[in-house]
Structure formats: structure tokens, C-alpha cells
Structure 1
Amino acid sequence: METIRDIAKRANVSPSTASRALNGNSRISKETIEKIKKIAKEMGYHPNYAVRNLTRGDANMVGIVFPVTSDNAPANPFHIDLMRGISTTLTPMHYEMVVAISPTEEELLASIKSMVNQAKIHNFLLFYAVKDDPVTEYLREKNVNFVVIGNSGENNTDRYVDNNNVAAGEAAAKCLIEKYQVQSPLFIRSKYKWPYENSRLKGYKEYLEKSGHSGEIWTEDYVHPIDEFLKKNPNIDGIVCADDILFGKLSSSLQQYHLPIVCFNNSRLMGMILGDSDKIDLQPRELGKQAVRLLFDRKKNHKIVNFKLSDESMQ
């Protein structure tokens, strides 16, 4: 394998000059930079970006932080698509992903501390937005560069990438009422009541109020399951499900009612379960791409990514 010393010898310069030229140092003349880059290309030289970054005390890796996840939890297709978008953007930058995923808050925080202090990872993307989160608090305290995918609320000061979830919730309700003439829709949310679910619920309520419709809300409840709720409320004629993983859990119970359903995310898995039902495509791959761009552009605070309903843009 060719080294900087080999290039320097052939160019008749010092190794330090060759290194600075390959890095485009402004103190090196344009002619020298072009000459050395040409020699490096001819010799098939590939820089070791890991070593280069470690000499600066910074690993060429981005920490990907998942929400607390039990060992037997199914893979979330939304997260998989996020990682695909992140990977395609990081690769040309010569950065790699390292994942932190744990079944408890304590273990997750310990993992993050190890990544910062031992692995020298100083750039993170968080796949969740939660108030009073110990991981987020630690990253703030250490002044570590991070971006959250999601938005924890109105008083949020962290840099984030997100969809306009209020508008997405409104679009879901509008689809049911205008496309399927639904009169009494039901909004289903998980027991966790994630901030993005609350935002979608807000949009759902706002559209119902504007259109003069009344609707119901059901929160994940193992004591009083969804089919029991639907039997007690036979007027419900359409459903908005705020989370695709939750819909996956409930799909077998919901199928018997043959109601029009609007769900969020447009992954292949959800396509197989939902069939021809309407889906709000949150474009997770684009969210991942924009999260990386924002991570390395500290001048910007946030980025909102468009969503789509089926095949047509909604924003």
C-alpha cells in the first residue's frame, strides 16, 4: 500500500508538505497541490481517514442512538429507512455509523458515555425526541454535537430534523373525511404518547373542528383492547393510526371491521400489512439525509422534511 512518504519521495517534497497538499492547505501553492494530487491518483493512494481524524482527537464515526428498546422488540422499519438515508450521506464524507441500543435508560447512557470518552465520538444522531431525557442532557452538558430526529415540544432548544406532524395529522383526517366520507373517525395512539403522536393528534383534532366532525381517541390499552372499544362505539367508520408499529400490533383485530385506515410511514413492511390503504409517507430516508447535513452545519437549528400522502405531495 502506498503511503504519504512514497508520494513525497516521488514529488521530491517532505511528507508534511505532501500531507498538507492532499488536504488542500492554503499555505501550499496551487501548482504543488495539483502536482501531488496527480501523483497520489497515479499511485492509487487512499488516505486513512480514521487515522486522520483520530490525530485531531475525533473519531470519523457518528453515533446513532435508538430509543430504549427491549431485547425482543421487532425492528422498526422507520428506523431502518432512516439509517439507509444516513448511510448514503455519511459514506462520501468518509464517516461511519456506530449504534447505541439498550433495554434501559441506564445502559443506554453508559453506552453513550463510553462512546464519547473512550471511542472519541463527538457527533450523534438521536432517533427519538423526549423531554428530560438523560442521554440528551448528557450530550448538552458535554457540548457534544448532536441532532435529534423529531421535536420534543415548543420549548425545545436542541437542533432537530422533523416532519410537520401537525400538518400530517390534519392530512390524515382530511383523507378519511373527504376521500371516504367518514363521519366519526377514530385516532389511535400508543401508550407512550410520543411527541410526534401528540402533534399528529393535534392536527387531527384541528381538521375535525374545521370540518364540523366529531371523533374519538383510543390509547393503547391491554386491559380494554381495541376490538372491545370498537364494539362499544359502532358509529366509528374510519381510523387514523398514529404509529406504524402500533398498527402492526393491532392489524389482525382491525381487519374484521373493514374500515378505511390511514397510517404513517410507507415502508415495504407497512405496504404488505396495509395493502391499498392510504399511508402518510414521512420520507424517512430523506429525514436521515437531512439529519446528517444539519449535523455538520452548525449554523442551522432545524430542518423540516416534506411528507406525502400515497404518491402525491402534501406540502
Structure 2
Amino acid sequence: MGVTIKDVARKANVSPSTVSRVLADSPKISEKTKQHVRKVIEELGYHTNLNARSLVSKTTQTIGIVLKNSDKEALHSTFAPEVLRGISATCSKYDYNIRLTTGASEEEIYQEVVKMVRGKQVDGIIVLYSKRTDRVVPYLMECEFPFVIIGKPEKNPNKISYVDNDNIQAAMDATNYLIQLGHRQIAFISDDPTYEVAQNRLIGYKQAMNNNYLNVPNEYIHHVKNKYNQGFQVVQKLMSLSAPPTGIVITDDFNALIVLSALQALNKKVPKDVSLISFNNSPISEVTFPKLTSVDIQIYQLGYEAAKLLVTQINEPDHIKKSVIIPCIIKERESCSSRNHEKEN
């Protein structure tokens, strides 16, 4: 017969309910007691019986994950795999399983979320995006169902738990990085503009340009949805302008790879002719030629903290809603260089 909670409680000289609270990481238990009980759990080799726990507590021990796009494109991005790794680390720590939405459209995703909630298939949900026209978040709020957003909510931010970066400041920092290198003609390329993160990064880019009294022509702002043909056309348009950009801020490493390939096809050298700074600091940024300077938004940590907030919300329903802001760091590599203004005059 396997080791039980009672066996752990007996050796740790605590009550079985205390062991249960330690397993749930309850804030009502002191860190000293948690460390003591966890040591005993490790010594005895205790493993949680999830089926038994679910029957007793009437929970599923499962967290639902709503992807930005649930078709094949979602897992091809530089964001989803890493954020899922962070979520998985927390879920593993607290014995939760993960269930992903698999719908190919926004309507299918919404209907899957409804099934999750009404069918009591999950204990809580993490939404991996914030979007103005989204139906998922309003539905979860109406149902008073535990959920956390990665990204700042478009509405009711004080009533929702979320984890995010300061995307306006991060884009300002990325743009200022190019400005400090002497660039004055700087373009901006993001992915889907309907998402909050793309909107805020565009605001940050414009603020940095305006603060430095630099012109922002409409022709300098584009959106590419991770497709090479679309990205090539955008780069071709930019390079054919009478005043083509010498620097480009790109909000995703995958799009940056597309831009880099398009520039090479047009016989433009990076960073000699055009400097690139991107976002996410994914493995892609270290294997391109040249290697990409990229803003590390700490994707793993976004997922890890979001799952922690959700577990707390599930176990402590009255817990105050929180927001967590994860700092960003520019990782300097080889895709940016100083601009010689004599060439422009």
C-alpha cells in the first residue's frame, strides 16, 4: 500500500489537514511548517492521489489554457511554447493538469471555453492574450469563474488578475535604443493589431519618436501576421521609399526572421544598411545571421506567475485580484549598429 497523507502527518507531527494545505501551498501555513512537511513528503516518497483528491474536493485538478490562436499557427509562434513551459512548471508543482483549447476560429475557441466551464472540466482558466473584441473574458467574468489573463485587460483591469509587461515602456526602450545609435528613420512592424500588446507597443514606439522630435510617416508602420510573402511585400515597400528606414522595431522574433530574410533577398545588409531590434528573445534570435538584438519579455516567467495567480485564486476564492508586471531587458547582439549620418546628407 502506498504512502498516505496520514503517514506524512504522523511523521511530521502535524494534522492531515495541515499536510493538505501545504500541498495546496496555502498562505495560512507558515514557510517553516511548509519546508518541514515538504521534507517529510520527499523522505517518504509521497505522491498525491489526484483521482481521490478530485472525488473528495469535487475539483478536476486541471487548468484550461486559451491560446491566442488555437490552430497550427499558435504553436509555431515564439511565444506560446515558452509561456506554456512556464505554466507547466507551476502546474507540476501544485499537481495540476493542463487542457488546451483546440478550436480553429474565435467562435470555436469561445464554445470550447463554454464547455469547459459548464461541464466543470477545469478548475480555472488562463487566457494567453488580451483583445478588445474578445468574448471569452466577459463570459468568464459573468460566470464568476476563476481566470487569469496574460496581458493587460482592455476593460476592468482592477477587477481581473493578470500578468503582463509594461509594453509601452518596452517599445519606448527598444526605439530609444536605435535612436541612441544614431538612427532617425525608424519603422515599426507588429503582428495582429487587434491585440492589446500590439497596440501598446505601437504607442511606445510613437512616444519615443515624438519625444525625440522624429517624424513618423504612416508608411513606416506595418503589421505582419507571421507570413513570409506578406513580410516580403512590407519590406519591399519600406526599402523603396524615398527615405527608407535605417532601423526597424519588430514586435516578434519570428517576424524579425521574416524581415531579415526579405532584406537579404533585396541585397540589404543587416546591420550595415538596416538595424533590427525585435521582441521575445526566443531561441530564433540566437541562430539567425546576424544574431538578433531582442527585448527579453521573460515569457517563461509570464506563464509561471500567471499559473501561480490562478492556483491562489482557485484555492482562496476571496483573495484580492492582483496584477504582476514582469520587467523587460534588451539582449544586445549583432543586428544593430551605429548610424553614420554623413551617408544620409
TM-score range, shorter chain: 0.7 to 0.9
Partner secondary structure for residue 148 of structure 2:
strand
2:206 corresponds to: 205
Contact map agreement 2:285 2:293 (CA 8 A) in 1: no
Is 1:301 paired with 2:322? yes
2:87 corresponds to: 86
Is 1:247 paired with 2:256? yes
Is 1:226 paired with 2:208? no
Is 1:2 paired with 2:5? no
Contact map agreement 2:167 2:197 (CA 8 A) in 1: yes
Contact map agreement 1:86 1:288 (CA 8 A) in 2: yes
Which range is displaced more, 303-312 or 95-104?
A: 303-312
Please point out which of 251, 273, 280 is paired with 2:288: 273
Per-residue deviation, 1:233: 3.9
Contact map agreement 1:129 1:152 (CA 8 A) in 2: yes
Per-residue deviation, 1:300: 3.6
Q: Cα–Cα, structure 1 residues 238 and 120, in superposed 2: closer, same or farther, change >3 Å?
A: same
1:124 corresponds to: 125
Contact map agreement 2:70 2:109 (CA 8 A) in 1: no
User: How big is each residue's C-alpha offset from its partner over 1:209-230, in whole Å with a ceiling of 9 and x where there is no partner?
Assistant: 1112223432237496331232
TM-score by length of 1: 0.81
User: How big is each residue's C-alpha offset from its partner over 1:50-73, in whole Å with a ceiling of 9 and x where there is no partner?
Assistant: 421342222111111102343466
Contact map agreement 1:4 1:18 (CA 8 A) in 2: no
TM-score by length of 2: 0.74
1:14 corresponds to: none
Q: Cα–Cα, structure 1 residues 158 and 275, in superposed 2: closer, same or farther, change >3 Å?
A: farther
Is 1:170 paired with 2:159? no
**Which residue identity lines up with residue 269 of structure 1 in the other structure?**
I
Regions of 4+ moved over 4 Å: 3-8, 17-22, 36-45, 221-224
| Partners of 2:68 and 2:5 in 1: CA distance | 46
| Partners of 2:223 and 2:44 in 1: CA distance | 62
Contact map agreement 2:295 2:328 (CA 8 A) in 1: yes
1:23 corresponds to: 20
Q: Cα–Cα, structure 1 residues 227 and 142, in superposed 2: closer, same or farther, change >3 Å?
A: same
Contact map agreement 2:63 2:99 (CA 8 A) in 1: yes
User: How big is each residue's C-alpha offset from its partner over 1:30-65, in whole Å with a ceiling of 9 and x where there is no partner?
Assistant: xxxxxx999988875433134213422221111111
Partner secondary structure for residue 261 of structure 1:
strand
Partner secondary structure for residue 239 of structure 1:
strand
Contact map agreement 2:83 2:299 (CA 8 A) in 1: yes
The correspondence of residues 182-201 of structure 1 with structure 2, limited to 5 A, is 182-201=183-202
| Partners of 1:48 and 1:116 in 2: CA distance | 24
User: How big is each residue's C-alpha offset from its partner over 1:179-209, in whole Å with a ceiling of 9 and x where there is no partner?
Assistant: 2x10111111234342111111111111111
Q: Cα–Cα, structure 1 residues 93 and 228, in superposed 2: closer, same or farther, change >3 Å?
A: same
| Partners of 1:50 and 1:44 in 2: CA distance | 18
**Which residue identity lines up with residue 278 of structure 2 in the other structure?**
C
Contact map agreement 2:70 2:101 (CA 8 A) in 1: no
User: How big is each residue's C-alpha offset from its partner over 1:139-164, in whole Å with a ceiling of 9 and x where there is no partner?
Assistant: 11211111100124365443211000
Contact map agreement 2:64 2:126 (CA 8 A) in 1: yes
The correspondence of residues 43-58 of structure 1 with structure 2, limited to 5 A, is 44-58=45-59
User: How big is each residue's C-alpha offset from its partner over 1:217-275, in whole Å with a ceiling of 9 and x where there is no partner?
Assistant: 32237496331232124441110012333333333213332310110010102322363
Which range is displaced more, 220-229 or 73-82?
A: 220-229
1:289 corresponds to: 304
Contact map agreement 1:160 1:303 (CA 8 A) in 2: yes
The correspondence of residues 63-102 of structure 1 with structure 2, limited to 5 A, is 63-71=64-72, 75-102=76-103
Per-residue deviation, 1:131: 1.8
**Which residue identity lines up with residue 85 of structure 1 in the other structure?**
G
Per-residue deviation, 1:119: 4.7
Which range is displaced more, 216-225 or 288-297?
A: 216-225
| Partners of 2:38 and 2:276 in 1: CA distance | 58
Name the Cα RMSD after superposition: 3.2
Percent pairwise identity: 25
User: How big is each residue's C-alpha offset from its partner over 1:84-126, in whole Å with a ceiling of 9 and x where there is no partner?
Assistant: 1111222121112211132112221222222223353121111
| Partners of 1:275 and 1:54 in 2: CA distance | 55
- Unmatched tracts of structure 1, length 5 or more: 12-16, 26-35
The structure that has the greater radius of gyration is 1
